[in-house]
Amino acid sequence: MSTLITISILAIVVLYLGLYKAKKALLPVTLIGLIAALGFAVSQWNTFAEPIYSGMMLFDKYAVAFSSITILSTILIFLLSNDYFERISDHVAEYYSVILFALAGIIVMVSFHNLTMLFIGIEIMSVSLYILAGIKKKDFASNEAALKYFLMGAFSTGFLLFGVALIYGATGSFDLEQIRDYVVQNPQAVSPIFYGGILLMIVGLSFKVGAAPFHFWAPDVYEGSPALITAFMSTVVKTAGFAAFLRLFIFCFTPVQSFWIPIFVTFAALSLLIGNVTAVYQQHFKRMLAYSSISHVGYMLFALISINSESDSSVFVYAAAYSVASIIAFAVLIILQRQVGNDSFDSFNGIAKKNPFLAFTLTVAMLSLAGIPLTAGFIGKLLMFNRALAGLHIYLVVFAVLNALVGIFYYFRVIVAMYFKSAERNELVVSPLFKFVLGISAIITVALGIYPDLITRLI
């Protein structure tokens, strides 16, 4: 719990720094605070975990692992934020603080032990993201993204809350252990209300992670939001959403998996098809990343389709690989938007000649997202395919492999533009902080691809 308290206090401290016009201290203080929160999380790794606050939260190895990856991703994203918010507004502290409050909600999401805390965590995160999506007050696209995200988010929250109410009506409790005991003790006599609650919670959580057919908000919101916020949404938020998804279904609903597995198989197939096929036709890098994120949701759903004790580690590895590669992609996107003015695929032409380091790191990211061997993305996909094969979903795996080939096409489109297309362009200047983030992210991507055991057995 020290992690959650540290992040919450840090958000308030950052607000006071803004009040006293200490702009130069915002980024260092934020990074130091997040490193301290990460240290508190890691220090609880080998401690005995039991529910705290009257069974409301459980900070076990699962929570520690996903809290750590979300904090690390947030640190990398904050390193990219130097001078970013200053270009938008004079009130920079508020943006730092809102991101930290969103991260606090995420910590609650990955460590909940009561459905009330799941709902509170999701709402803290969501309200913060509604604000962040519209931080460019004079930008019509940013305003549109915030409005769409708010409307669709509120709609999905209604489904989620109704599902929680139905599960409470059937079991008489919000506590995960009591819900699990209800299912285990009455596997053949589960109330129809309980199944209705599961279905509504699937709909609500699928909205949050952007799984098809509840993905319609994602491309427009990702495109309209500032690139740095989109990076946060597509990495930290998506990881937290799946962590909450998986924790709930592994802990409570495994005995009735015959009911919800066909639903997830359908959602996974639709996410793969819609995400990959639509990404092929995009002409802008940011929108391509938005649709590819939908396809990655399809792969991550494989862990729920064949749920067992290894599902959590599979999602953890995939989320880590996807987050690191996506941060590289969005870092390059921010550089291009600043210095070129757009993110069309033509803007990538000839980057390798002007800035080989930038081209190399983006190539590593694209190879990882495509699932090419010797990258973390390949290990993530391999684990997910193993999960589906363990459940004898052979046709789904074949379908996923075909969609992965489609993904290779549009990811390699960027690589081809950088190395094999020429263009007259100015030198791309990369700041030291950007170089650090790009370099360390590329090293992590390759290291996890070669030595996957570094994290595969953490949970």
pLDDT at residue number 425: 67
In terms of residue numbers, what domain contains 204? 2-456
Of the pLDDT bands very low, low, confident and very high (cuts 50, 70, 90), residue 90 is: low
Token pair listed for 233: 């949404």
Token pair listed for 34: 């997040």
With vertex at residue 213, the alpha carbon angle to CA 208 and CA 219, rounded to the nearest 5 degrees, is 65
Of the pLDDT bands very low, low, confident and very high (cuts 50, 70, 90), residue 353 is: confident
Q: How many domains does the chain have?
A: 1
Of the candidates 389, 355, 374, 380, the one whose C-alpha atom is nearest the C-alpha of residue 449 is: 374
Peptide bond into 213 cis (omega under 30): yes
Contact between 39 and 7 under an 8 Å Cβ cutoff? The reply is no
Neighbour-count burial of 456, counting CB atoms closer than 10 A to its CB (0-12 exposed, 13-18 middle, 19+ buried):
middle
* Residue 377 pLDDT > 80: yes
pLDDT over 70 for what percent of the chain? Answer: 98
The verdict on pTM exceeding 0.75 is: yes
- Tell me the pLDDT tens digit for each residue of 150-198: 998 888 999 999 999 999 999 999 999 999 999 988 777 888 999 999 9
Ramachandran angles phi, psi of 58, nearest 5°? -140, 110
* Residue 442 pLDDT > 80: yes
- Tell me the pLDDT tens digit for each residue of 404-438: 999 999 999 999 999 988 777 677 788 899 999 99
- Tell me the pLDDT tens digit for each residue of 36-87: 999 999 888 877 678 888 888 988 889 999 999 999 999 999 999 887 777 7
Lowest mean pLDDT among 50-59, 217-226, 247-256: 50-59
